[in-house]
């Protein structure tokens, strides 16, 4: 049976207005199936973050179509985009954007707080379980400022996975970490990919880490310069 397509970009361009308009992405075509683990490589300024913003419905294309779980994002209003993101998309960034005055648990529950004001018992149970899976059992009540950089990034991974997300987009999630912690972040992402079938698109400029992906996409000068399957290196726990 054919796997379902979760992301489909057709002839996508993104132009940023300005005194000199920037064509950050041009004629990009990319089709991602459910359960893939894709690394996106490319030099600084090549358009990786622009691509990830479009894939995450954080921005809309200037030309072409971006479909996420079958929805053409150009046809959605702000509420529709927010709903799509809330249901299907998780985000992990280089600087994790955690709330410093709050605990690990509160940070993971933050999206739930934002929607309903108070998290439900089920949401708290899910957050505790996801924190355990990223190796933070016993640290749930710690303020995130009292956690190490690697632990903070694991809180960010837990937050991105809350709510049974279909797709997780990570923009240089290891950019701020040493080799060991970077590898650990990839190991955890691969585990959620394998165990829960979550689709991952991970921007990195670390070729060694990209070798853990099933597929490697190179972005150069706003174009998808290459797109190849990769036999992933094993990551042992």
Q: Which does 174 bind (CB under 5 to 8 A by kind): ligand ADP, Mg ion, none?
A: none
Site for ligand ADP in 48-107 (CB under 6 A): 48-50
Q: Which of the residues 151 through 190 are near ligand ADP (CB under 6 A)?
A: none
Of 50 and 103, the one with the shorter C-beta distance to ligand ADP is 50
Residue closest to 94 by CA, chosen among 157, 7, 158, 139: 157
Q: Figure out which of the listed residues 6, 7, 28, 46 binds ligand ADP, where binding follows CB under 6 A.
A: 46
24 binds, among Mg ion, ligand ADP, none (CB under 5 to 8 A by kind): ligand ADP
Give the count of residues interacting with ligand ADP (CB under 6 A): 12
- The distance of closest approach from Cβ of residue 201 to ligand ADP in the complex, given in angstroms and rounded to an integer, is 13
Q: Residue 38 pairs with which residues in a beta bridge? A: 201, 215
Decide if 35 contacts 229 (C-beta within 8 A). Answer: no
Q: Which of residues 34-93 bind Mg ion (CB under 5 A)?
A: 48-49
Minimum separation from the CB atom of position 92 to Mg ion (A) = 13
Closest separation in Å from C-beta 205 to Mg ion: 9
Binding site for ligand ADP (CB under 6 A): 16, 18, 22, 24, 42, 44-50
């Amino acid at each position: 049976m054919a796997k379902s397509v979760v992301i489909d970009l057709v002839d996508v361009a993104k132009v940023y207005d300005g005194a000199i308009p920037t064509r950050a992405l041009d004629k990009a075509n990319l089709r991602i199936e459910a359960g893939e683990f894709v690394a996106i490589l490319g030099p600084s300024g090549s358009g990786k973050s622009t691509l990830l913003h479009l894939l995450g419905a954080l921005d809309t294309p200037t030309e072409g179509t971006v479909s996420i779980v079958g929805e053409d994002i150009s046809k959605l209003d702000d509420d529709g985009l927010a709903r799509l993101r809330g249901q299907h998309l998780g985000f992990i960034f280089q600087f994790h954007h955690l709330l410093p005055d709050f605990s690990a648990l509160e940070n993971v529950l933050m999206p739930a707080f934002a929607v309903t004001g108070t998290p439900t018992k089920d949401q708290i149970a899910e957050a505790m379980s996801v924190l355990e899976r990223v190796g933070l059992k016993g640290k749930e009540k710690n303020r995130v400022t009292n956690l190490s950089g690697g632990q903070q990034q694991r809180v960010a991974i837990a937050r991105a996975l809350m709510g049974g997300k279909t797709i997780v987009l990570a923009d240089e999630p290891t950019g701020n970490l040493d080799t060991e912690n970077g590898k650990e972040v990839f190991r955890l992402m691969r585990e959620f990919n394998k165990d829960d079938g979550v689709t991952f698109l991970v921007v990195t400029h670390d070729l060694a880490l990209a070798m853990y992906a099933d597929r490697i996409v190179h972005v150069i000068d706003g174009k998808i310069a290459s797109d190849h399957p990769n036999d992933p290196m094993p990551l042992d726990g």
